[in-house]
Structure 1
Amino acid sequence: MTVMSIRDRGMKKWQFAFGHPELIKGQRDLWRDQERIAKPIVDVYELEEFDSRIAYAMEYNLAVIITIWLDGFTSEIKGRVHYVDPISNELRIEGEDGLFQRISFEDVVGVVVVD
Protein backbone atom coordinates (compact mmCIF):
# COMPACT_ATOMS: atom_id res chain seq x y z
CA MET A 1 0.00 0.00 0.00
CA THR A 2 1.37 3.35 -0.98
CA VAL A 3 0.85 6.56 0.91
CA MET A 4 -0.01 9.58 -1.22
CA SER A 5 1.23 12.91 -0.05
CA ILE A 6 -0.98 15.97 -0.20
CA ARG A 7 0.39 18.56 -2.58
CA ASP A 8 -0.74 21.96 -1.38
CA ARG A 9 -0.15 24.93 -3.64
CA GLY A 10 0.22 27.34 -0.73
CA MET A 11 -0.62 30.97 -1.50
CA LYS A 12 -1.01 30.33 -5.21
CA LYS A 13 -4.54 29.10 -4.68
CA TRP A 14 -5.53 32.51 -3.24
CA GLN A 15 -3.89 34.65 -5.90
CA PHE A 16 -6.89 34.29 -8.17
CA ALA A 17 -9.20 36.00 -5.68
CA PHE A 18 -6.86 38.89 -4.97
CA GLY A 19 -5.76 39.39 -8.54
CA HIS A 20 -9.09 40.68 -9.83
CA PRO A 21 -9.84 44.36 -9.16
CA GLU A 22 -13.58 43.76 -9.58
CA LEU A 23 -13.60 41.43 -6.59
CA ILE A 24 -11.64 43.87 -4.46
CA LYS A 25 -13.94 46.75 -5.45
CA GLY A 26 -16.99 44.63 -4.69
CA GLN A 27 -15.65 43.82 -1.24
CA ARG A 28 -14.92 47.50 -0.53
CA ASP A 29 -18.42 48.46 -1.67
CA LEU A 30 -19.89 45.82 0.62
CA TRP A 31 -17.95 47.15 3.60
CA ARG A 32 -18.98 50.72 2.75
CA ASP A 33 -22.65 49.72 2.47
CA GLN A 34 -22.50 48.16 5.93
CA GLU A 35 -21.40 51.50 7.42
CA ARG A 36 -24.35 53.45 5.98
CA ILE A 37 -26.96 54.85 8.35
CA ALA A 38 -30.59 55.73 7.79
CA LYS A 39 -31.43 59.41 7.48
CA PRO A 40 -32.21 60.86 10.90
CA ILE A 41 -35.79 62.02 11.30
CA VAL A 42 -35.96 65.77 11.91
CA ASP A 43 -39.29 66.94 13.29
CA VAL A 44 -40.90 70.37 12.94
CA TYR A 45 -39.60 71.64 16.29
CA GLU A 46 -36.03 70.79 15.39
CA LEU A 47 -36.42 72.56 12.03
CA GLU A 48 -37.63 75.68 13.84
CA GLU A 49 -34.65 75.45 16.17
CA PHE A 50 -32.29 75.14 13.18
CA ASP A 51 -33.92 78.20 11.60
CA SER A 52 -33.49 80.29 14.75
CA ARG A 53 -29.85 79.22 15.15
CA ILE A 54 -29.09 80.07 11.52
CA ALA A 55 -30.82 83.46 11.83
CA TYR A 56 -28.89 84.18 15.05
CA ALA A 57 -25.59 83.21 13.42
CA MET A 58 -26.30 85.41 10.39
CA GLU A 59 -27.32 88.37 12.56
CA TYR A 60 -24.13 88.34 14.65
CA ASN A 61 -21.80 86.91 11.96
CA LEU A 62 -20.99 83.78 13.97
CA ALA A 63 -19.62 80.52 12.65
CA VAL A 64 -21.83 77.45 12.55
CA ILE A 65 -21.22 73.73 12.31
CA ILE A 66 -23.85 72.19 10.06
CA THR A 67 -24.27 68.42 10.05
CA ILE A 68 -25.52 67.10 6.72
CA TRP A 69 -26.66 63.65 5.62
CA LEU A 70 -25.70 62.53 2.12
CA ASP A 71 -26.10 59.04 0.70
CA GLY A 72 -26.09 57.26 4.05
CA PHE A 73 -23.26 59.19 5.71
CA THR A 74 -23.13 62.33 7.85
CA SER A 75 -20.49 65.01 7.62
CA GLU A 76 -19.92 68.38 9.22
CA ILE A 77 -19.34 71.69 7.49
CA LYS A 78 -17.95 74.61 9.45
CA GLY A 79 -18.28 78.17 8.24
CA ARG A 80 -20.42 81.29 8.24
CA VAL A 81 -23.91 81.46 6.78
CA HIS A 82 -23.68 83.84 3.85
CA TYR A 83 -27.20 83.59 2.44
CA VAL A 84 -30.41 81.63 2.87
CA ASP A 85 -32.16 81.12 -0.45
CA PRO A 86 -35.86 80.33 0.14
CA ILE A 87 -36.57 79.87 -3.58
CA SER A 88 -34.07 77.08 -4.21
CA ASN A 89 -34.20 75.85 -0.57
CA GLU A 90 -30.45 76.18 -0.10
CA LEU A 91 -27.99 77.59 2.40
CA ARG A 92 -24.85 79.25 1.14
CA ILE A 93 -22.00 78.71 3.55
CA GLU A 94 -18.66 80.49 3.40
CA GLY A 95 -16.12 77.91 4.55
CA GLU A 96 -12.99 78.55 6.55
CA ASP A 97 -10.98 78.43 3.32
CA GLY A 98 -13.07 81.25 1.79
CA LEU A 99 -14.94 79.02 -0.66
CA PHE A 100 -18.72 78.91 -0.78
CA GLN A 101 -20.82 75.75 -0.54
CA ARG A 102 -24.49 75.24 -1.26
CA ILE A 103 -26.39 72.98 1.09
CA SER A 104 -29.94 71.83 0.54
CA PHE A 105 -32.38 72.30 3.43
CA GLU A 106 -33.38 68.63 3.19
CA ASP A 107 -29.81 67.46 3.86
CA VAL A 108 -29.39 69.40 7.14
CA VAL A 109 -29.74 67.21 10.25
CA GLY A 110 -27.98 69.45 12.80
CA VAL A 111 -26.92 73.06 13.40
CA VAL A 112 -24.61 74.29 16.15
CA VAL A 113 -23.60 77.94 16.58
CA VAL A 114 -19.92 78.38 17.42
CA ASP A 115 -19.11 81.41 19.58
Structure 2
Amino acid sequence: MHPIRDRGIIKWQSAMLLPEHIKKLKDFYQEVYKVQKPILDEQQLSELDVLVRDAMEYNTPLHFIFFEDGELIKLKGYISFIDMIGKQYRIRDFHNINHFIAFHKIIKITKE
Protein backbone atom coordinates (compact mmCIF):
# COMPACT_ATOMS: atom_id res chain seq x y z
CA MET A 1 0.00 0.00 0.00
CA HIS A 2 1.40 3.38 -1.08
CA PRO A 3 1.06 6.43 1.13
CA ILE A 4 -0.85 9.40 -0.30
CA ARG A 5 1.57 11.81 -1.89
CA ASP A 6 0.42 15.39 -2.03
CA ARG A 7 2.12 18.76 -2.07
CA GLY A 8 2.17 18.98 1.71
CA ILE A 9 2.48 22.48 3.13
CA ILE A 10 2.89 24.05 -0.32
CA LYS A 11 -0.73 23.16 -1.03
CA TRP A 12 -1.92 25.28 1.88
CA GLN A 13 0.46 28.19 1.40
CA SER A 14 -0.56 28.94 -2.16
CA ALA A 15 -4.26 28.87 -1.34
CA MET A 16 -3.93 31.51 1.37
CA LEU A 17 -3.60 34.50 -0.97
CA LEU A 18 -6.99 35.94 -1.80
CA PRO A 19 -7.46 38.34 -4.72
CA GLU A 20 -7.71 41.21 -2.22
CA HIS A 21 -4.32 40.25 -0.79
CA ILE A 22 -2.75 40.09 -4.23
CA LYS A 23 -4.13 43.53 -5.14
CA LYS A 24 -2.80 45.05 -1.91
CA LEU A 25 0.62 43.50 -2.54
CA LYS A 26 0.72 44.90 -6.09
CA ASP A 27 -0.32 48.35 -4.82
CA PHE A 28 2.35 48.16 -2.11
CA TYR A 29 5.12 47.29 -4.59
CA GLN A 30 4.02 50.02 -7.00
CA GLU A 31 4.20 52.55 -4.17
CA VAL A 32 7.62 51.30 -3.02
CA TYR A 33 9.17 51.43 -6.49
CA LYS A 34 7.93 54.89 -7.49
CA VAL A 35 10.67 57.27 -8.52
CA GLN A 36 11.05 61.03 -8.29
CA LYS A 37 10.88 62.99 -11.53
CA PRO A 38 14.34 64.13 -12.63
CA ILE A 39 14.70 67.83 -13.41
CA LEU A 40 16.38 68.77 -16.69
CA ASP A 41 18.57 71.85 -16.97
CA GLU A 42 18.53 74.35 -19.85
CA GLN A 43 21.36 72.64 -21.74
CA GLN A 44 19.63 69.27 -21.66
CA LEU A 45 16.37 70.84 -22.84
CA SER A 46 18.21 72.56 -25.68
CA GLU A 47 19.84 69.27 -26.76
CA LEU A 48 16.44 67.54 -26.73
CA ASP A 49 14.98 70.34 -28.87
CA VAL A 50 17.75 69.99 -31.50
CA LEU A 51 17.37 66.19 -31.54
CA VAL A 52 13.59 66.41 -31.98
CA ARG A 53 13.77 68.95 -34.78
CA ASP A 54 16.39 66.88 -36.66
CA ALA A 55 14.31 63.73 -36.22
CA MET A 56 11.25 65.47 -37.64
CA GLU A 57 13.17 66.83 -40.60
CA TYR A 58 14.71 63.47 -41.55
CA ASN A 59 11.85 61.28 -40.26
CA THR A 60 14.11 59.22 -38.00
CA PRO A 61 12.78 57.11 -35.12
CA LEU A 62 13.58 58.07 -31.54
CA HIS A 63 13.54 56.43 -28.12
CA PHE A 64 11.60 58.41 -25.53
CA ILE A 65 11.68 58.04 -21.77
CA PHE A 66 8.98 59.97 -19.97
CA PHE A 67 7.69 60.25 -16.44
CA GLU A 68 4.13 59.25 -15.56
CA ASP A 69 2.67 58.52 -12.11
CA GLY A 70 6.01 57.76 -10.47
CA GLU A 71 7.24 55.52 -13.28
CA LEU A 72 9.66 55.98 -16.16
CA ILE A 73 8.03 54.73 -19.35
CA LYS A 74 9.83 53.92 -22.61
CA LEU A 75 8.40 54.51 -26.05
CA LYS A 76 9.88 54.11 -29.54
CA GLY A 77 8.50 55.95 -32.51
CA TYR A 78 8.42 58.93 -34.83
CA ILE A 79 7.44 62.47 -33.95
CA SER A 80 4.55 63.30 -36.23
CA PHE A 81 3.60 66.69 -34.75
CA ILE A 82 4.73 69.21 -32.15
CA ASP A 83 1.79 71.01 -30.56
CA MET A 84 3.20 74.28 -29.23
CA ILE A 85 -0.19 75.47 -27.92
CA GLY A 86 -0.96 72.23 -26.05
CA LYS A 87 2.75 71.81 -25.23
CA GLN A 88 2.93 68.18 -26.26
CA TYR A 89 4.47 65.85 -28.80
CA ARG A 90 2.42 63.55 -30.98
CA ILE A 91 4.45 60.36 -31.36
CA ARG A 92 3.51 57.56 -33.75
CA ASP A 93 4.88 54.21 -32.59
CA PHE A 94 5.75 51.23 -34.80
CA HIS A 95 2.17 49.92 -34.55
CA ASN A 96 0.80 53.21 -36.01
CA ILE A 97 -0.68 54.26 -32.67
CA ASN A 98 -0.47 57.93 -31.76
CA HIS A 99 0.69 58.89 -28.27
CA PHE A 100 0.42 62.39 -26.84
CA ILE A 101 3.20 63.24 -24.39
CA ALA A 102 3.47 66.60 -22.66
CA PHE A 103 6.80 68.42 -22.91
CA HIS A 104 7.27 68.49 -19.13
CA LYS A 105 6.98 64.68 -18.88
CA ILE A 106 9.93 63.97 -21.21
CA ILE A 107 13.06 62.84 -19.35
CA LYS A 108 15.30 61.59 -22.15
CA ILE A 109 15.27 61.26 -25.93
CA THR A 110 17.84 59.28 -27.90
CA LYS A 111 18.28 58.21 -31.49
CA GLU A 112 17.60 54.59 -32.30
Aligned position for 2:97: 99
State the TM-score, normalizing by the size of structure 1. 0.79
Q: Would the aligned equivalents of 1:18 and 1:24 in 2 still touch at CA under 8 Å?
A: no
What is the CA distance between 1:23 and its match in structure 2? 2.9
Aligned position for 1:35: 33
Aligned position for 1:84: 82
Give 2:85's aligned amino acid. Answer: I
Percent identity for Structure 1 against Structure 2: 30
Gapped regions of structure 2 (runs ≥ 5): 1-8
What is the CA distance between 1:29 and its match in structure 2? 0.8
State the TM-score, normalizing by the size of structure 2. 0.81
Task: Tell me how far apart the structure 2 counterparts of residues 34 and 89 of structure 1 sit (CA, whole Å).
Answer: 31
Aligned pairs, number:
102
Aligned position for 1:49: 47
Task: Tell me how far apart the structure 2 counterparts of residues 64 and 19 of structure 1 sit (CA, whole Å).
Answer: 42
Tell me the C-alpha RMSD between the 2 structures: 1.9
Q: Which runs of 4+ in 1 moved over 4 A?
A: none
Structure showing greater radius of gyration is 1
- Equivalent of 2:58, from 33, 57, 60? 60
